[in-house]
Every structure is written in C-alpha cells, then in structure tokens.
A and B are shown apart, each in its own frame.
Chain A
Amino acid sequence: MAFLIDLTKCIGCEACTLACKQENGLPPGATDKLSAVTWTVIQRHGGVNVKLQCNHCVDPACVSVCPVAALEKTDLEAVIYHEDRCIGCRYCIMACPFSVPKYEWYSTQPRVRKCTHCFPRLGRGEEPACTAACPTGAAKYGKREELIEEAKKRIEDNPGRYVDHIYGLTEAGGTCALYLSAVPFADLGFATIRTDTTYPHLTWNVLRQLPSVVSVGGVGLAGLWWITHRRMELAEERAHQAAKRTESEEEKPK
C-alpha cells in the first residue's frame, strides 16, 4: 500500500501531524521537522506545504543494512521496526537516503523512531491516521499501482498544474510515498537521489561475492602454501644430499 501526496492540495493544516501524534501516543512539540517524537510533519517552502514521513521504499536501504533484521518490509508495504531486536548501531539512520529514521539520543534504552505506515491500523483494515485526517485529500492512501495511475492521470488531466514528475516513482528504486507538485522538487528540499537502482543493490553487489572470496581465497592460499612448502622441502632435501655427497667424498680418500 502507498501514499499519494498532492502538494498542490495541501493547505498545511497539520491535521496529519496531529493525528499521527495521537495515534502513536507521541508527545507534543518538535513539529518543525521529523524527529523521534514527530513522524510526519509539514514543512513550509514559501506557499507550498510539504508533508514528510517515511517513504516506505519498495526495497528499503534501512531494512537491508540492519544486522539484526529489526526493520522489516511487511506484505502491506509498511516498513516497521522491532525494537526488541535493535542493538542501536544506527546504520539505518546512516543509510536512509531520505534521513527518515531518528534516534532517542538521550535515553539509556534508546529506540529508532519513525513512521510505521500505521501498521496496526492497516492490520485492522483501516487507513493510516494521517490520510484519514487529511481534510483536503492531499494525502491519499491506496495501492501503489493504482495511485501511480491516478497520479499520471492527474498530470494528464490538469495541464499546467503539475511538473511532469512523480517523485517516488523511481527515486531510490521506487518508494511507497508518491508526490505530485507544481514546482520542481529540488526547490522543495527533496533530495536528488539515484533512480537507476535500489540502494541495497549497492552493497549487495559486493556482499554476494563472499562465497567466491572464501572458496577461491581458501584454495589459492592453500596452493601458495603447497608451493612454498614443497620448495622448502626440496631445498632441505638438496642440502641434505649435498651434505651426504661431501661426507662420502670426504670418506673416499680414506
């Protein structure tokens, strides 16, 4: 499932932020940017209001980097966090191209915090709290494929209203938050990031060589040892024979 966020419809009322805080029991405050206590936020760029939350990438960097599988991409497309597994290495925070996951820096038992796509609500067949609260339909919830079709249709049906770019269609290999805008996304603080491949591929391309390194390296090292060891044995043997020869030569004159 996915979000379609039409920035031309957002009035910046922050009902989504409010609903998110209420749904997830987050304390008030810190509503100027994403934080450990604010999982969706409205950022104002001139007159354009931009709703940010976890983009729930199709192939998320955070899920791939987590050494203990504390982050999971569920069947419902939500990227969720299992806090009982997390060791706190913060690689997910490092790896996320959208800088979404946040950390509880001042806790002695810190957790990674981020939008869960309201996973518990999805399980009950409800839509996420933020889209349910949106009074203008700027944030809409639905199937990714259907929302892509709808976004394309909106661009086609309203010439001049949108730039011809669905942010999230190919960014980071595709995300489950699709954005429409009237102005270029770069002007709205959206990261210009790679669209040719998903992020996990960058590390997986190296990591998948592991069996080759181990097998080829192991055989190669054993081979090197065999050559050098045999060379040493031969050298010893030759020295031994040479010693014998000199011995027998010394014996001859007797």
Chain B
Amino acid sequence: MKRLAEIPRWWAFTALILLVGAYAMWIRFTQGLGAASNLHDGFPWGFWVGMDVLVGVGLAAGGFTIAATVYVLNLKKYEPVSRPSLLTAFLGYLLVSAALLVDIGRPLRLYHPLIMWNPRSVMFEVAWCVTLYTTVLALEFSPLVFEKLGWRWPLKAIRAIYLPLVIAGVLLSTLHQSSLGTLFLIVPEKLHGLWYSPVLPAFFFVSAIAAGLSMTIVESFVSSRVFSRRLEHDVLLGLARATVVILAVYVTWRFTDLATRGNLHLAFQYSQQSVLFWAEIGFGAVLPLLLMLASGDRIKERNLFFYALLVVAGFVLNRVNVSMTGMRNIETYFPKWSEVAITLFFVVAGVVLFGLAVRQFDVFAKSEYVEPGTTPRMGWFPKGSLLAVAAFFVALVLLVRAAPSRSELEARLRPAPSQLAMQVEPLGDPTVNLPRDLTIEGSANSPGKVVFSHANHIAMQEKVSCLECHERTFGMGFAHSPRLQGDQWHQACGTCHDGKKASTSVNDETGESCSTCHQSQ
C-alpha cells in the first residue's frame, strides 16, 4: 500500500521535470542559445557538452563492455546483463543525439558531418562513430523487437551477423569514447594541467569502461526494486572485481602521468582545481576501489550499489572537470537554470523510456534472472546512498568556492606590467598620414563656409580615435563621409559642440559664437 501511494507523487515529479525542461527548450529554440544558457564567447562549451554528451556517452559504455564480455570473451555468465546494458546504451545514444539538437546552434544541420567531410576533425570522427554505433545498437537491440513480433526470418539473419556486429560496436565505441578525450587535446593552455595530458584519450576510454560497469551494477540494483529483477550475487561480484582492476589501472596511470609530466605539484597547490581533483580521484576512484577490495566476496548488495554509485559520481566529476571546471574562464560561467532543466529533461525521459521498453520487450530474460519475490525488499528507494552522494556534491561546491580560483592564482604569478609609454606622438610624427582639412560650403542663409581641421580635433581628444566621431555621428564612410546638408551639420557637430563637452555651442541664440566656425566671405 505504501508503495502504491508513492507512485503518483513520483509521476507528478516526473511530469514537472518534463514540463520545466520543455519550457526551457521553448526558450532555447525561440530566442537562441544565449537566452537559454550562460554560454558566451569566452566559454563556448558548458553544461550540455559536459553532462549530456561526455557523461551521457560515457555512462552508456556498459553496452559495448558487456557485449564484448559475453560475445567475444564468451563469458556466458554475464548474459543476463547484456540486454539491460544494451537497452541503456541504445537509449543513452538516442538521448545524446536529441540533446545535441539543443546544444548545436543549427540543429537541423546535425546531419552535415555525414555529407560534408573534414577527416582531420576529431568532431567529424565522433559524429561518424556515434551515428554508426547508434545504428549498430539498433541492430543489436532488434532481436527483442523481432521476438515480440514473432518474426523468425529477420531474427535468424541478425543472429547470423551478431558477432561481427558486436565487434564493430566494440571498435566504434573504443574510437569515440577515446575521441571525446581527443577533443580536448587541442586546448593545452585552456585545460588545467591536472587534466590535460597527451594520453587523455586513453584515460577517457579506461574511465568509461569503469563507469559503464558501475552503471550496470547501479541499474541492477534499481531494477531489483522497480521490476523485481535482480542479478545473481556471482555476476555482481564479477562486475565489481572488473571495476576494481580497471580503477586500479586508471588511478595508477593518472598519477604516473602527472608525475612524469612534472604536474604532480599542481595536486598539492591549494586551488579550486586541486580540491576538485582530490574529490574526483579520492572519493570517486580510490575510495570505492578500497571499499570494494575490503568487502571481499560477501559484499552486501546494498553496499555494492553505494560503491558503484561513488564510481559513477567520480566519473561524472571527471567529465565535468575536463569540460568545465578545469577550463580557463570557468570563473565567467555557471550554468543557467534552463541548462540544468533541459539536461534533467533528457535524464528523466531516459528513465521513462527504459521503463516503457522493459514493459514492451523481454529485456530481463526471465529464466536467467532470479525470480521475483526471492529478493528481500529493502525499501522502495535507496535514500541513504543518494543522500550521501548529494551531500558529497554540496560539500564539494562549498569547498571549491572557498579555494582560490585559477584566474586569481595566475594573476598572482603574472609580473606587474611595466609602465607603457606611447611610442608615437601622432601630431609630431611626419610619417603619420592625418586626414586633410575639410571645407564645408555654407548654404543660402549661412554666415559663411566652415573649414574643419582634423588636426585640431585630434589634438583635443584624450585618445586618438576616428571611431569617436565616425562610428555614429559622421557616418562610417570616413573616406568621404560628410554628405550632410545645411542644418544637419549643426545637428552632427552639436553632439559635442553643445556648450558643455565643447565650449562653443551650435545652438547659441545670440549668434556670438557663429564666427568660431563660420568664416564670413
């Protein structure tokens, strides 16, 4: 009964997130990226690239990892997880593509990389790999649809090419998971030394595998609560062990790389980035690694869920650090509500679609999962673990805010600029080609022509600037700009000659100052 009562509340929550996200998208598509985000020229990639693309693609890595384990390494024990992880990956990639429609400036041209080639571009390679891999995932998933429809012939055809399909999927994933790291190799000065590394592509690949495996553990736990399907302890244990080994390799490599590039000291310099680094490596990799190791074979499922959640959180933090918080100019960017709202929209849409797909298709092959009812129910929602992770991020934000920012530290290192004197006195230098004087013939009832001296006016200026007068007042065509007539001159000159900015005024009714400019014939 308690569970039933909670369901409508969750649906209301879901609907609210979807509505707010849809409203944010409406703003984005009717008013542009600038209205829906805090992105600007100094910080062109933000929350959407970090969360929707880098995190989204990374967390879907369970798909190719499990596929390789089951079909290439022939470890059939893991077959029960292959379909859920495949569904996660398929939905993940569809949602990443949908999120790209929001992020790129001209969404209707999303297909352009397929027909307009630039093979030197990492982004071009990623676009192709993601397109091809989404196709592969659709094919890998198609047997579930054919089973449901009872189509025997297509089912047979897909099964015949399943191994090459899996191998193609693994290769495509290897390429683009690492290429998401390669994207950042071209910003060696902008990305902080704790993350920039020539082996960033390899780090992206290895960390994606660890995150993909952990995500599979997390999902198993969630599906045990939502769909009453749970994995055998032995399978979960295997996934945890693989995660431990991969995390150990990853952490060792990160530190060795920092040390060999002489950047290890950056981790011990008190800064926003070093706090983020230790949060990412310490709490998101080393801690879950040690906890999983210490728990041994009798690890409780609930604890394993928490450790896997830590790995996922560490992974998210890593991608956030590489794409946002480790980037120069981060001081000028904090995501707008609409950026977060749109990302939440896609997360929630993914969860809803996952639920729908599980109800439609045979995602959890029944015989291989432990039958429903054998799981002791441990509450509908893993409140403790989620609260712990949320508290971790809140504490992190506070700690980071307290630490000195990158721009502060860089400003401290920069030597005070020397007093810079003007090199050329424009009026004294004979090589300077000043514009000539201009004679304005008076109209019918004018007190006389006016000779305008550029030299005099430049001498009056605090800084020499043609723009001062020519940008607006006298038009941009400065080669022969004055196409003004009669009183228009009074108006234009009056911008400065108003009796205040310049002492003579064109509106002097006494007519005394007319002769300052007008020469009687």
A residues at B contact (CB < 8 Å): 7-15, 17-19, 21-22, 28-29, 31, 35-36, 42, 44-48, 61, 64-70, 85-91, 93-95, 97, 99, 102-110, 133, 135-137, 182-184, 186-188, 191, 193-194, 199-200, 202-207, 210, 213-214, 217-218, 221-222, 224-225, 228-229, 231-232
Contact = CB atoms under 8 A, between A and B. Distances in A.
Interface string B224-263: 0000000000000000000000000000000000000000
Contacts of A21: 471, 476
Given A19-B478, A187-B420, A90 B44 contact: yes
B482 interface: no
B433 A136 contact: yes
B123 interface: yes
26 contacts: A9-B431, A12-B463, A12-B464, A18-B470, A21-B476, A28-B472, A35-B41, A46-B421, A48-B423, A65-B186, A87-B104, A87-B110, A95-B186, A104-B32, A109-B106, A135-B434, A187-B418, A199-B186, A200-B186, A202-B186, A203-B182, A203-B186, A204-B120, A206-B178, A206-B179, A222-B167
Instruction: Pick from A15, A137, A183, A228 the residue with the most CB of B within 10 Å.
Output: A15
B426 interface: yes
A14 B105 contact: no
A45 B123 contact: no
Interface string B394-416: 00000000000000000000110
Given A135-B434, A182-B423, A103 B120 contact: no
B127 A67 contact: yes
A224 B105 contact: no
B41 A183 contact: no
Interface string B448-477: 000000000010000111110011100011
Q: Sorted from nearest, which 8 A-B pairs have the closest CB atoms? A: A88-B105, A46-B420, A105-B34, A47-B422, A67-B123, A228-B74, A11-B426, A67-B124
B417 A187 contact: yes
Contacts of A68: 109, 112-113, 116, 118, 124
B175 interface: yes
A233 B482 CA distance: 92
Contact of A13 (B68, B104, B167, B465): B465
B121 interface: yes
Contacts of B104: 87-89
Contacts of B429: 136
B187 interface: yes
A62 B80 CA distance: 46
Interface residues of B, number: 86
Given A89-B103, A91-B183, A207-B125, 13 more contacts: A13-B426, A18-B471, A21-B476, A67-B121, A85-B116, A103-B44, A107-B32, A108-B30, A136-B431, A202-B185, A202-B188, A221-B170, A224-B72
Give the interface SS of chain B, mostly helix, strand, loop or mixed. loop
Contacts of A204: 120
B40 interface: yes
A133 to B, nearest CB: 8
Contact of B34 (A94, A106, A135, A229): A106
A86 B104 CA distance: 10
B482 to A, nearest CB: 15
A175 B330 CA distance: 27
Contacts of A12: 463-465
A182 to B, nearest CB: 6
A91 B123 contact: yes
B33 interface: yes
A28 B432 contact: no
B296 interface: no
A137 B112 contact: no
B270 to A, nearest CB: 24
B344 interface: no
Contacts of B113: 67-68, 87
Interface in B148-182: 163, 167, 170-171, 174-175, 178-179, 182
A61 B44 CA distance: 15
